[in-house]
Amino acid sequence: MSDGGAVAGPDGLLRCPWGLSAEDYVAYHDEEWGRPVHGDDALFERLCLEAFQSGLSWITILRRREGFRTAFSGFRIAEVARFTDADRERLLGDEGIIRNRAKIDATIANAQVLVDWAPGELDELIWSYAPDPEGRPVPAGTGDVPAVTDESTALSKALKKRGLRFIGPTTAYALMQACGLVDDHVAGCVARGAAR
């Protein structure tokens, strides 16, 4: 496991090492991470959760995902865009989420920007930065997986230029990984290529 290559789980299936590092990760790794996500609200949710994850471990966010969904009206852009100062205060007191004022403010501000976009525009913009899968080497281990790419840097710049906040190149790349724009499951992993 030191090289970050695929590891056999209790069921005998090979997975990315992180996919076996906590019980909560197995289903997320096998059924969600790296699978294509489409739809403005669905991508808004992932964008927000990746921003909340910044500086924390993903397991912290994953374990609170239902709390986030409840607190942020299912991440429906039109509803979050109508949040008021009272909603901000409610969110700052909600123990079911990460109570970080800057991240909460960014989530609401981003919804207020996105509510004016045409339907499908967020989906189209994000997916326009998906690299050609044929040009990407299969990572032998987790050490071969980048934290930032040219595409994630360009996506971050494009989103910031359009008024979105809290989406740096590393967060943009985590979004790309989670939403299937790239397949960073390591060689031999049972989930590698599953969504293609």
Domains of the chain and any CATH numbers: 40-179 (1.10.340.30)
- The response to whether 179 counts as a known ligand-binding position is no
pLDDT tens track for 88-120: 999 999 999 999 999 999 999 999 999 999 999
Q: Which residues contact 168 (CB under 8 A, 6 or more apart)?
A: 54, 156
What is the Cα–Cα distance from 77 to 45, expressed in whole angstroms?
9
- Is 38 annotated as a binding-site member? no
State how far the Cα of 146 lies from the Cα of 142, in Å rounded to an integer: 9
Active site residues: 28, 50, 58
Note the pLDDT tens digit of each residue in 115-169. Answer: 999 999 999 999 999 999 888 899 999 999 999 999 999 999 999 999 999 999 9
pLDDT of residue 196: 56
67-77 confidence digits (pLDDT tens)? 999 999 999 99
